[in-house]
Structure 1
């Protein structure tokens, strides 16, 4: 499942041939939304007796400054809560849309990472609630998919000595979920058939894969689950000793080809770890449940006009299995030596060694999954 969404802080161009109003829920930056809204109004009013301009917006918002919208779009001013309400009126928003706009404004203007995360969570929940209400997301599908508590309880079946009593599970889960949440999650797993309880021994066992049709899961739910598991990682950073966890970060400048290559390696690593762990749990149960989150994401946009490196066709055609905490994309392998441009400068000894190492890594990955 892919999470396809516009590149951050880049809006959609509105042509004069097809003037389409921007949709607030498509945006993660309210200034970009306002800029696109203004261009939409300008183009849709083209040829009318009174063309749309900044002064018209200010009048609709009951704001004295005729260029206030322009200053907001350019980042010269921030919106206060009072102004958010006035902007909502000028944008012809309903109550729910104004609240969504308010959350988007707070998210965009927040500078502290923790505060941004808080508003991002609220914004995401608000948008999901709206999609559930409108029917864009099927409520039955949404309620059927296990939440993060159920996901961990499912893994606890492979943990040694676990008693599936709600109070015992709460203690093992370190109090991160209430007994009601745990009981609901356990009942959902049993009712859906993911888990079964042995009538003779009373032991809980896995009955089937947690998600058999991941392609049917709404993207919004995938994001929700991923964010919840990431928050658990953030808590672990402050709560657990370094000897009990492994945290590391790496910031890199990459070409598109290099990005796809790393993404391919990460997917194969995750697949290999999952396979090895499944085999090990057949022999004996584990001692604790651990969460492994893998993240690789852009923190800058590409500079406009810079020629992008063409993505080299993958040498391996491996279809990775889909997990609920993963959003699959086409698998890309490491580029082969022959794929290097003919016009490239002759490589020195170190460069040749790096290329050989790269090819060897790709070959090793291929051997793992033959």
Structure 2
């Protein structure tokens, strides 16, 4: 079984613990629950299946039942809070706590790079812009950005992008993109990306006043839909996005960085519920 700090979903960690114990002994969900002090023999099974959740009280008992000690207990508690949190702000706080515990014990949390990359517009933009400007100093790159960014922030971004393998230095102040993309777990990456969507949405609003209509394309449709039509439109948007990515990939002489936001979201609640079959 992997060390606890390589997990970010406490349910998966508990399931792996159960399977590990079961392989080496006649371990059961009933016994697991009994050791943790629960009267319901199936409670922990329901937790692992996502049908129930650990609380601030019960997670302590489960940690003891699994034999966790020292920083493992702290990490487990942070992981439970991370999994149970509903808001991104709280999730980020508990993720940072998990990362701090892992870092203190010389273990790398894979999503840290994803969070840093998507934390603001700067890293994605610098990753695209720097290869277009071979030999350019950070101050020169900063001046080419339409948003406020200092030479120091550009340098900091370049160091991060090179360290994580998202840019490769091939000469004096000269970079090229690698094939490596930012990857993270299914638990952490959506939170990081939502942060980026919020920031890019703000920049899209700013673009309405900042740029002439000949330099931007902002359109929208307000329409009535049902679930079937919504899913068809999502499929069309996915196809459109893939075609746009292909066009960008075939582009030869790059000279500018653009951002495309594809947004489809509800403006009202459902007028009537889904019909039952």
TM over 0.5: yes
Alpha-carbon separation, structure 2, partners of 1:308 and 1:166: 58
Alpha-carbon separation, structure 1, partners of 2:131 and 2:276: 45
Alpha-carbon separation, structure 1, partners of 2:91 and 2:202: 19
Contact 1:194/1:210 (<8 A) preserved: yes
Contact 1:157/1:206 (<8 A) preserved: no
Of 129, 133, 137 in structure 2, the residue corresponding to residue 156 of structure 1 is 129
Cα offset, 1:248, TM superposition: 0.8
Contact 2:167/2:177 (<8 A) preserved: yes
Alpha-carbon separation, structure 2, partners of 1:237 and 1:163: 33
Partner of 2:163: 191
Partner of 2:217: 246
Partner of 1:227: 198
Partner of 2:264: 296
Of 204, 210, 213 in structure 1, the residue corresponding to residue 175 of structure 2 is 204
| TM-score with structure 1 setting the length | 0.44
Partner of 1:172: 144
In the TM superposition, 1:194-343 aligns within 5 A as: 194-199=166-171, 203-213=174-184, 215=186, 217-280=188-251, 284-304=252-272, 306-308=273-275
Alpha-carbon separation, structure 1, partners of 2:136 and 2:214: 28
Deviations 1:197-229 (A, max 9, x none): 114x65311122332457464322111011111
Contact 2:141/2:154 (<8 A) preserved: yes
SS at match of 1:204: strand
Cα offset, 1:275, TM superposition: 1.0
- Give unmatched runs, 5+ long, in structure 1: 1-122, 311-370
Alpha-carbon separation, structure 1, partners of 2:216 and 2:146: 15
Deviations 1:41-65 (A, max 9, x none): xxxxxxxxxxxxxxxxxxxxxxxxx
Aligned pair count reads: 182
In the TM superposition, 1:39-188 aligns within 5 A as: 126-135=89-98, 140-145=109-114, 146-147=117-118, 148-157=121-130, 159=132, 161=133, 163-188=135-160
Q: Residues 302, 175 of structure 1: CA spacing in aligned structure 2 closer, same or farther, 3 A cutoff? A: closer
Contact 2:183/2:189 (<8 A) preserved: no
Alpha-carbon separation, structure 2, partners of 1:125 and 1:176: 26
Alpha-carbon separation, structure 1, partners of 2:186 and 2:97: 21
- Give unmatched runs, 5+ long, in structure 2: 1-85, 104-108
SS at match of 1:287: coil
Deviations 1:137-172 (A, max 9, x none): 98844541213211111122453x465421111111
| TM-score with structure 2 setting the length | 0.57
Alpha-carbon separation, structure 1, partners of 2:255 and 2:97: 44
SS at match of 2:168: strand
Cα offset, 1:192, TM superposition: 1.1
Contact 1:255/1:308 (<8 A) preserved: no
